[in-house]
């Protein structure tokens, strides 16, 4: 098995967290059941994605049955191709974006880094829209639901029994919006604040613990509020730009 370099942590029983050492501290997760496992997001670099796969298949001795993409961004979805026997789950908009934008983005990425020659775009096989999607993994219940803001296809995955939320890019050390909007992100942060969570796995960065969650949310909300005020102030000027 390949030497495991990235950060790996067991958050709860059979719930794992991974953080990339190679790209932007992007995160991924895995939930292990008695007979198969689920992967949440797939990191940016093929080398690290394959390390996650090897850990699950060789150390946990489980096949990966499902891969969940929290959103379409390359560092969260492109590694799905390294789980060829898995069903990929995402928001319907994620499938649409990968189908329309994924291949052209991959062509450009291959020009800059030959490692991406191994990657192919895998449109999600199973999608949902505004409702919840529930998946049972052994004794764990995974609830998937829309959590837009950073982009309009972002979803959250809650491990109900452990109150662990994989938030995608809706929860970050610093809010980051690409293809989403500030109002949706503000509403998603409010939703997160009411969920009674033990841990949050952000799309990038370290695990956020229960005692840190409120402070992180307030900081994110203050940042978004400051952006709103700055934009409104600029819009009132005769020549805002």
Q: If you average pLDDT over every residue of the chain, what do you get?
A: 96
Confidence of residue 95 (pLDDT cuts 50, 70, 90): very high
**For residue 2, pLDDT beyond 60:** no
Confidence of residue 11 (pLDDT cuts 50, 70, 90): very high
Backbone angles phi, psi at 35, to 5 degrees: -125, -20
| pLDDT tens readout for residues 124-148 | 999 999 889 999 999 999 999 999 9
In a domain, 83, yes or no: yes
In a domain, 2, yes or no: no
| pLDDT tens readout for residues 175-203 | 999 999 999 999 999 999 999 999 999 99
Residue percentage of the chain with pLDDT more than 70: 97
Q: What is the CATH number of the domain that holds 39?
A: 3.60.15.10
Could you tell me the two tokens for 183?
A: 């109002």
| pLDDT tens readout for residues 78-88 | 999 999 999 99
How much is the pLDDT for 241? 57
In a domain, 241, yes or no: no
Average pLDDT over residues 57-70: 99
Confidence of residue 42 (pLDDT cuts 50, 70, 90): very high
Residue 156 has, within 13 A of its CA and on its CB side, a CA count of 27
Please tell me the distance from the alpha carbon of residue 170 to that of residue 163, in angstroms, as a whole number. 17
Helices H, strands E: what count in the chain?
6, 13
In a domain, 221, yes or no: yes
SS3 content of the chain, % helix, strand, coil (to 5): 40, 25, 35
What is the model's pTM?
0.96
Confidence of residue 238 (pLDDT cuts 50, 70, 90): low
Residue found by looking up tokens 């994620």 in the block = 94
What's 79's DSSP letter? G
| pLDDT tens readout for residues 143-177 | 999 999 999 999 999 999 999 999 999 999 999 99
Contact indicator for 19, 52 with CB cutoff of 8 Å? no
Q: Quote the domain boundaries for residue 28.
A: 7-236
Confidence of residue 235 (pLDDT cuts 50, 70, 90): confident
Confidence of residue 3 (pLDDT cuts 50, 70, 90): low
User: What is the tally of structural domains in the chain?
Assistant: 1
Closest Cα to residue 230, out of 220, 240, 215?
240
Average pLDDT over residues 44-73: 98
Please tell me the distance from the alpha carbon of residue 37 to that of residue 57, in angstroms, as a whole number. 9
Residue found by looking up tokens 């956020």 in the block = 208
Beta strands in the chain (DSSP E): 7-12, 15-19, 27-32, 37-40, 64-68, 87-91, 126-128, 133-137, 140-146, 155-159, 164-166, 199-201, 208-209
Contacts of 52 (CB under 8 A, 6+ apart): 18, 28, 30, 39, 42, 43
Backbone angles phi, psi at 220, to 5 degrees: -65, -45
């Amino acid at each position: 098995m390949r030497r495991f370099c990235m950060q790996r942590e067991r958050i709860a029983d059979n719930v794992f967290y991974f953080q990339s050492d190679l790209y932007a501290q992007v995160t991924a997760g895995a939930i292990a059941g008695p007979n198969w496992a689920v992967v949440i997001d797939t990191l940016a670099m093929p080398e690290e994605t394959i390390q996650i796969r090897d850990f699950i298949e060789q150390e946990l001795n489980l096949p990966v049955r499902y891969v969940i993409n929290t959103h379409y961004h390359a560092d969260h979805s492109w590694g799905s191709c390294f789980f060829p026997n898995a069903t990929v789950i995402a928001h319907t908009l994620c499938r649409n974006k990968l189908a329309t934008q994924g291949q052209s983005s991959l062509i450009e990425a291959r020009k800059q880094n030959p490692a991406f020659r191994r990657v192919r775009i895998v449109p999600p096989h199973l999608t949902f829209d505004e409702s919840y999607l529930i998946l049972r993994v052994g004794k764990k219940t995974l609830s998937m639901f829309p959590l837009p803001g950073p982009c309009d296809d972002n979803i959250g995955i809650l491990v109900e029994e452990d109150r662990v939320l994989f938030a995608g890019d809706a929860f970050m050390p610093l809010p980051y919006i690409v293809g989403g909007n500030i109002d949706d992100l503000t509403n998603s942060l409010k939703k997160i604040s009411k969920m009674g969570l033990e841990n949050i796995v952000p799309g990038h960065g370290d695990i956020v613990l229960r005692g840190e969650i409120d402070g992180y949310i307030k900081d994110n909300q203050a940042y978004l509020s400051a952006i709103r005020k700055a934009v409104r102030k600029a819009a009132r000027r005769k020549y805002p730009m």
